[in-house]
Structure 1
């Protein structure tokens, strides 16, 4: 009788399907803005503050304390019409002590609503310290009449200082995704104020440059040693890259075009056969004032890194998939 041998059944090994887990997203480290550690961020603002600190006395020494500097700036004032001299009642008169105090209160309220009271207080320091510094410099930086000018001392411009400092302070408490539109509107107003102070004979170009430097000094100092403005939480994250790139392009193109117009006006004024063309010099002065504002705004925009997106990382420190 033949026995049947049965082969043992072979078991097919079970295939293990790897489970893909979505990396856990965490907010960026507040000490890292996506472009380096905390020292890099604070160093950028410290450099900007130092730049403003150097520009203030340098411009005063060149444009105010020398006969050549005074004559060049006073030639632009020659294009101011007597009917317009000290006659502005629009953007300039908006800037006053009650408006400054109201602005500080609004900034603090916005910061409190976003649970950033420390940032709001720091933004208030930018406004109040800039205004106080501008007022103090007007008393210290005496203008010697060494070029036959009869216009009183005005270094630096208090109106331009407040316009610039207010813009920088508002940006500190504004969520990142809304900053592009806020910056464009604030920059347009600051340029308008700078133009009005010159075209109405309130200030010279050096006064505007000094005002921008004062605002740069204080916003750089506060951002360098003060609280971290963006902690990586909701509201600090960048929006789409398109608006940020548009703002960068607008600032660069506007600065270039304004500078070109100012240089052309200056060349026209100097090459005029009958002497300096005061109307062309006034245009050159207005363009120079606008360029100083645009350069200061662009410097703050780039220092803040608003045109770069801070990466979101997973628990292993690697970039999370988009």
Structure 2
């Protein structure tokens, strides 16, 4: 006896369309946020005397004997390395039969790097606060470090993303810290870099191919690592912000009435602000990617995959 399948149990056309609409909206909003942050930070921190004086005061604490004794992490980021990274991303995507995703991930890296380079040329820094440090908005190193992390995550199977994200986030924070410690960049340069990487990731994820399609390699794996990563990111953001605010209060208190602020404390505050910018963007991307919860993906036949 042949039984008629229960069509009510099958997803409707509207239900099938829902996740796509949600994905486009979610990532489109993040792209919009990145698009707004870039000119906003530039206008406040670069085009005003107060913004320039505040950021330049932190540079007064820069010394050659500061925390990092090597710029190896910064020297890793170069044009040949960027091109090699794009090739590796495409190769991994091709091996997973996700070439379209690999090309989209490569676009995130190249477009972010190109936008950062272009803005350095057109976003001039007016000399309105007697600054001796040339224009550096935004940070190309921080842009590429974040864009590379986001691109690698796109081609990485979901069950491996927790480890990849923690390693990549640590490197991006390290790069942001080094650029500030060495006096290469100000906090606004790092914030602008984060916004650029977020903008292009949002554009590609909203209008490009779906990164996860429910195939075997897209299954979540164990819930524990995902929850650990979420906790680590949230705690890290809280700790970094607390240290940064404390350093800023100490710096301002030291100069109360005299106007001579503690530049070392301001440098710590600047480093923490730069680290917080990176960590906040990484956390937002992690949550937007849906990796923080235990919702099961489905396989290509629509059967829920085990978490």
Q: Do both proteins adopt the same fold according to a TM-score greater than 0.5, normalized to the shorter chain?
A: yes
Superposition deviation, residue 309 in structure 1: 3.3
Q: What CA distance in whole angstroms lies between the structure 2 residues aligned with 1:109 and 1:83?
A: 41
Query: Who is 1:167 aligned against?
Result: 149
Q: For 2:85, what is the secondary structure of its paired residue? A: helix
Match of 2:293 in 1: 308
For 2:302 and 2:110, locate their aligned partners in 1 and report how far apart those are by CA, in whole Å.
41
Greater gyration radius: 1
C-alpha distance in structure 2 between counterparts of 1:33 and 1:45, whole Å: 19
Q: CA separation in 1, counterparts of 2:139 and 2:221?
A: 35
Q: What is the distance in 2 between the residues matched to 1:127 and 1:111?
A: 15
Number of the residue aligned with 1:191: 173
1:294 is aligned to 2:256: no
The structure 1 segments of at least 4 consecutive aligned residues displaced by more than 2 Å after TM superposition are 31-34, 86-89, 308-314, 316-322
Aligned to 2:94: 112
- Cα contact 2:296–2:306 (8 A) shared by 1: no
Contact 2:125/2:135 (8 A) holds in 1: yes
* Residue 320 to residue 209, structure 1, CA distance change in 2 (3 Å): closer
Distance 2:268 2:26 in 1: 34
The CA distance in 1 between the partners of 2:100 and 2:178, in whole Å, is: 34
Q: Distance in 2 between matches of 1:252 and 1:79?
A: 29
SS where residue 115 of structure 2 aligns?
Answer: helix
1:160–1:211 CA contact under 8 A, matched in 2: yes
Q: How many residues align?
A: 293
User: Which whole-Å CA distance do the structure 2 matches of 1:203 and 1:192 have between them?
Assistant: 13
Among 266, 269, 277, which residue is 1:284 paired with? 269
Where does 1:97-246 land on structure 2 (aligned, <5 Å)?
97-246=79-228
- RMSD, matched Cα: 2.7
Higher helix share: 2
Structure number with greater CO (CA < 8 Å, separation at least 6) is 1
